[in-house]
Amino acid sequence: MLKIGVDAMGGDYAPEAAVKGAVMALDAIGPDSRIVLFGDEARVRAVLAGEGCPADRFDIVATTEVIEMGDHPAKAFQAKADSSITVGFGYLAKGAIDGFASAGSTGAMMVGSMYAVKPIEGVIRPTISSIIPTVTGHPALLLDVGLNVDCKPEVLAQYGLIGSIYAEAVLGIRKPRVAVLNIGEEETKGNTQSKATYELLKADDRIDFVGNVEASYLFTGKVADVVVCDGFVGNTVLKMAEGLYHINKKLGGGNAFWDAMNYENVGGTPVLGVNAPVVIGHGISSPKAIRSMILSAERCITADLTAKLQRAFKN
Amino acid sequence: MLKIGVDAMGGDYAPEAAVKGAVMALDAIGPDSRIVLFGDEARVRAVLAGEGCPADRFDIVATTEVIEMGDHPAKAFQAKADSSITVGFGYLAKGAIDGFASAGSTGAMMVGSMYAVKPIEGVIRPTISSIIPTVTGHPALLLDVGLNVDCKPEVLAQYGLIGSIYAEAVLGIRKPRVAVLNIGEEETKGNTQSKATYELLKADDRIDFVGNVEASYLFTGKVADVVVCDGFVGNTVLKMAEGLYHINKKLGGGNAFWDAMNYENVGGTPVLGVNAPVVIGHGISSPKAIRSMILSAERCITADLTAKLQRAFKN
């Protein structure tokens, strides 16, 4: 039995959206998977009843507190010991659940990842990544997308390996092509950071390093499956895509490519490099987005991603 | 009489595209403006004849060499003393033309800007900027877009002032709103560089500093008219927009907003912070793009941009 922990109180529209999303995920998860909801039991049961869904389709872990978006993440994680996120990470740390997903406070999710689950030995800094659509129809992985905004090349080089393992294990891409996001194709192009990262990745024979990729080719899928950049650049790319998606939608210039940009279909950002699957959803998650987030957590678990990452960094 | 110098040999399709673009610009330039073409006189005259355009509509300065894309910019600028770019900058430096525009070697254009025209006193590092479209219909200015990929905060802060002067003088935006491109709106967000830049711009009362802008709002035009970032990030934003423009075009998801992304309508990147108007066009410039580049150079000249920048940095 595989247990996917879900924060029923996480997200701007929780618990309604979170619980509805969990109900929507029931059809898609594996027969051996079970969703464990952490949250206000009465409210969770009320939403389930409203959806006409028997409560015994889920495990429910009753919690009494909620870490709010305005709370200081580290302080609240400790002070609100009975919050859905703190309790969820307690379950995850002791192995009572196999992964944990929340659309709640990103800061608190990171605190839990770093202090309850802890970085994998050998990983300098864990990272958050995002799946980006490409015109080929195949997804690509961009990392880091906002956790580490001042990155040393050694850190970025590790993201090449982490991203490669994730892309192969979870996205099913065989021998993923890894590239550095850069402002030119040539080896000598870039800033101090990207040039040094290039050298380190080039020397890493555990990955299929294909060199630099310019942002113009990010969404073509032609150059790379895994694209490494620092969190400032990655976050900017992601936010720009989001902004253009909304502009396109408003202007009626939609198509399948842009639909794939919709965060609802992506379903959260995995925290990579910690000792358990953790997925952070978008604060404004709709039920559909919560469903995708839960499925994304399930894929990380079934792919045995954590063990694969741990092995890779053992040397 | 205002003289706009144009490199007839610059760009992948020169001299045809360059000269045709110059012909196309004739209708749009002011009655007191005259285009000075630098290049192979016989070939220039042949294109003009092919277009049915009398050669006396232009001044032609005959040159015998061309700096190729593969040439080392600094070496070629010196060694090819009779190249269209080197001669053009000679004319610009001695005031025989009022501005110079080329879609040729960006590197050689920068060498000319830095060594023939020279940075304005007080400017730490000149910059290249790009006009980006917004859904409001008004343009916004992004800088730097690729010249300075490792920027100190002091350099970025100057770009706020330079961009503000450009936006007001050339784009006609009164009291332009200046912002730092950042990964969060709050003052405390960002990387080391963006946080330090924020503090410097906040203290600069010569500009209307509005704080941080996230990439999601870059193209909405809601937050800022002038957006400051380092050349790595700015170049990435620009290339990403370019890539998405092409994807959109291919997928048929076009609309007026995306059409405005088309570089052909933008017409080149002004080099800001040097002692004369210099505009660098895209290597793949079509005649229409060359026309836009020439008009953009003309606007810099008529706006008296250089004098305004010089005055601002006098203190």
pLDDT tens by residue, A18-70 = 999 999 999 999 999 999 999 999 999 999 999 999 999 999 999 999 999 88
- The residues, any chain, with a CB within 8 Å of residue B291's CB and separated by 6 or more, are B21, B22, B24, B25, B28, B267
Q: Which residue(s) pair with B48 in the sheet?
A: none
| pTM for the predicted model, two decimal places | 0.91
Q: What is residue B263's predicted lDDT score, i.e. its pLDDT?
A: 66
- Which of A191, A236, A254 has the CB atom closest to B237's CB atom? A236
DSSP B246-315: HHHHHHT---HHHHTT-HHHH--EEEESBSS-EEE--TT--HHHHHHHHHHHHHHHHTTHHHHHHHHTT-
Cβ separation A253–B250 shorter than 8 A: no
Which of B218, B223, B236 to probe by mutation at the A interface, max A CB count within 10 Å? B236
Q: What is residue B229's predicted lDDT score, i.e. its pLDDT?
A: 98
Q: What is residue B253's predicted lDDT score, i.e. its pLDDT?
A: 65
Cβ separation B244–A192 shorter than 8 A: no
In 3D space, the residue among A274, A3, A268 whose CA is nearest the CA of residue A112 turns out to be A274
- Which of A149, A194, A238 has the CB atom closest to B191's CB atom? A149
Q: What is residue B254's predicted lDDT score, i.e. its pLDDT?
A: 65
Q: Which residue(s) pair with B62 in the sheet?
A: B39
Compute the average pLDDT of residues A278-299: 92
Cβ separation B251–A255 shorter than 8 A: yes
**Mind listing the pLDDT tens digit for each residue in B173-198?**
999 999 999 999 999 899 999 999 99
Considering only alpha carbons, which residue of chain A is nearest residue B241? A216
ipTM of predicted assembly, 2 dp: 0.89
Tokens of A184: 């030119």
Q: What is residue B261's predicted lDDT score, i.e. its pLDDT?
A: 76
Lowest mean pLDDT among B78-82, B87-91, B137-141: B137-141
Q: What is residue B72's predicted lDDT score, i.e. its pLDDT?
A: 96
Cβ separation B255–A253 shorter than 8 A: yes
Tell me which DSSP letter residue B72 carries.
Answer: -
Cβ separation A190–B149 shorter than 8 A: yes
A chain contacts of residue B253, beta-carbon cutoff 8 Å: 248, 253-255, 257-258
Query: Does B226 have pLDDT greater than 80?
Result: yes
- The residues, any chain, with a CB within 8 Å of residue B40's CB and separated by 6 or more, are B8, B9, B15, B62, B63, B64, B66
- Which of A183, A247, A250 has the CB atom closest to B235's CB atom? A183
Compute the average pLDDT of residues B232-239: 95
Judged by a CB distance cut-off of 8 A, whether residue B250 touches chain A is yes
Cβ separation B256–A251 shorter than 8 A: yes
CB pairs under 8 A between A and B: 128
Judged by a CB distance cut-off of 8 A, whether residue A194 touches chain B is yes
Cβ count near A199 (within 10 Å)? 12
User: Who wins on pLDDT, B282 or A240?
Assistant: A240
Cβ separation B240–A216 shorter than 8 A: yes
Q: Residue B131: in which H helix or E strand, if any? A: strand B127-132
